[in-house]
């Protein structure tokens, strides 16, 4: 009998009463490996209520105890990394090596949460006026919500609930219905680490569950990662209901290639960053901008891409796995056809990709276009597949102008041996995360993930110090203690004396 994925409410695994059931499939075979329920409205309310009740106790828990919970949790995640990665690979199609990377980047954020005492310190100034001191403290918000996508079912939930809970909040996670098994395993290990019941709830479902969480009176903070259209909806709906929202949305990431760059590094890094994880990364390089004579390297990039072979998760020679589902595959194929129809040169076509032994997999081979105009859909929209677009310009200034005109601002990189070119690029580019000779500049957790423009809606970003600000409120205290009982008279002004 196929497993039915449970909900997690108040520390208990609960079989949903919902009749709305979604199959979870292996993307390489279409085999149904589990069924996930769309939680009923009553079950969502129960989850929020359990989190709210747990918050009353957890917010009083000493910060050292919260940090020690995260220390135990990161140890368990490390001990079980291979097991989690195997589960993740089977339900997402990622290669095992890529799945381990997914888990590891989440572990790094949990390690960062272990430092919560230092991260949540306030500020103090003595004698802001005579015998009056002023200081700030941070306090948790309450029940926080995370809505996570399919493409990083370990890393992105671990961006969210460990930081929120370390700050003193409780959490309701709504993971992607396409790969819920990995988040459920993360939750089991969290409980094993000693997390009290009610700290973390998991509810499954689609837009109805999301909208209920967005509008619920007891969920003051919403964190979301997903597409642009959904990100806008999350942000608008959440803020209209007076919630604090961070919504990470789509991307169209450019890599600029200067003629003085190391050609071998350029070729290898573009190939890996464009088709890794089948291009299903919000930080994937989907556009390479070749400046001046660097355009002569385009055939070599194409040849390197052609050597990358997709395959099943346990194939050690596979460069990446299948798309998450047949609909995602068809969407990518539609974009490839639109590019051809619009007159772009498809110099490498992966539309008819076949992987031996897996005839039903959602395969798309590495694909590359040249002679693409900026008004074509393959440039304007996020394809989210193993498709690379090569653009050609004459100068660095043209490359910067091109990228700054694009509506997205998630990540970008430049490959060059010139410090002056790199400095100009990082200063003038209107993108939140910049790599210099680094193709995928995802920051480590002591910093924050900082997409700009249509790639992000909100003001405080994920993990790092900004996550602490997002998951807490600042309270400022002004205090004075009288040394004697001298009558100084009534003061009716706002000025402190």
**Catalytic center residues:** 282
SS3 sequence of the chain: CCEECCEEECCEEECCCCCCEEEEECCCCCCEEEEEECCCHHHHHHHHHHHHHHHHHHCCCCHHHHHHHHHHHHHHHHHCHHHHHHHHHHHHCCCHHHHHHHHHHHHHHHHHHCCHHHHCCCCEEEEEECCEEEEEEEEECCEEEEECCCCCCCHHHHHHHHHHHHCCCEEEEECCCCCCHHHHHHHHHHHHCCCCCCCEEECCCCHHHHHHHHHCCCCCEEEEECCHHHHHHHHHHHHHCCCEEEEECCCCEEEEECCCCCHHHHHHHHHHHHHHHHHCCCCCEEEEEEEHHHHHHHHHHHHHHHCCCECCCCCCCCCECCCCCHHHHHHHHHHHHHHHHCCCEEEECCCCCCCCCCCCCCCCCCEEEECCCCCCHHHHCCCCCCEEEEEEECCHHHHHHHHHHCCEECEEEEECCCHHHHHHHHHHCCCCEEEECCCCCCCCCCCCECCEECCEECCCCECHHHHHHHCEEEEEEEEECCCCCCCCCCCCCCCCC
What residues contact 263, with CB distance under 8 A and at least 6 apart? Answer: 297, 300
Q: How far apart are CA 119 and CA 281, in angstroms?
A: 29
């Amino acid at each position: 009998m196929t497993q039915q994925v449970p909900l997690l409410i108040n520390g208990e695994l609960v079989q949903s009463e919902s009749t709305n059931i979604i199959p979870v499939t292996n993307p390489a075979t279409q085999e149904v490996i589990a069924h996930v329920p769309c939680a009923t409205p009553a079950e969502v309310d129960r989850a929020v209520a359990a989190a709210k009740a747990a918050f009353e106790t957890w917010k009083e828990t000493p910060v050292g105890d919260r940090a020690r919970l995260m220390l135990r949790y990161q140890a368990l995640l490390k001990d079980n990394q291979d097991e989690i990665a195997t589960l993740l690979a089977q339900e997402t199609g990622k290669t095992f090596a890529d799945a381990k990377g997914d888990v590891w980047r989440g572990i790094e954020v949990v390690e960062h949460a272990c430092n919560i005492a230092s991260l949540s310190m306030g500020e103090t100034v003595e004698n802001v006026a005579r015998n009056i001191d002023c200081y700030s403290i941070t306090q948790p918000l309450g029940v926080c919500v995370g809505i996570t996508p399919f493409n990083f079912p370990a890393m992105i939930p671990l961006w969210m609930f460990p930081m929120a809970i370390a700050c003193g909040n409780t959490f309701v996670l709504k993971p992607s219905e396409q790969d819920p098994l990995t988040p459920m395993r993360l939750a089991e290990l969290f409980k094993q680490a000693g997390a009290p019941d009610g700290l973390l709830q998991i509810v499954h479902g689609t837009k109805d569950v999301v909208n209920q969480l967005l509008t619920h009176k007891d969920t003051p903070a919403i964190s979301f990662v997903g597409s642009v259209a959904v990100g806008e909806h999350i942000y608008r709906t959440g803020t209209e209901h007076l919630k604090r929202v961070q919504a990470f949305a789509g991307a169209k990431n450019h890599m600029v290639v200067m003629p003085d760059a190391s050609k071998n590094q350029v070729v290898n890094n573009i190939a890996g960053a464009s088709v890794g994880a089948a291009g299903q990364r919000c930080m994937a390089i989907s556009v390479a901008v070749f400046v001046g004579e660097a355009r002569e390297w385009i055939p070599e990039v194409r040849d390197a891409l052609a050597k990358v072979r997709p395959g099943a998760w346990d194939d050690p020679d596979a460069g990446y796995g299948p798309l998450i589902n047949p609909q995602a595959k068809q969407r990518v194929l539609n974009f490839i056809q639109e590019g051809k129809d619009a007159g772009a040169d498809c110099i490498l076509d992966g539309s008819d990709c076949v992987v031996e032994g897996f005839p039903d997999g959602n395969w798309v081979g590495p694909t590359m276009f040249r002679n693409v105009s900026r008004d074509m859909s393959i440039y304007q929209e996020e394809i989210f597949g193993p498709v690379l677009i090569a653009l050609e310009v004459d100068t660095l200034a043209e490359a910067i102008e091109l990228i700054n005109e694009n509506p997205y601002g998630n990540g970008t990189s430049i490959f060059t041996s010139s410090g002056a070119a790199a400095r100009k690029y990082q200063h003038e580019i209107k993108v939140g995360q910049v790599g210099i000779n680094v193709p995928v500049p995802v920051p480590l957790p002591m910093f924050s993930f900082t997409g700009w423009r249509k790639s992000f809606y909100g003001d405080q970003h994920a993990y790092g110090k900004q996550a602490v600000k997002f998951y807490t409120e600042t309270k400022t205290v002004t205090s004075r203690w009288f040394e004697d009982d001298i009558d100084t008279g009534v003061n009716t002004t706002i000025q402190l004396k």
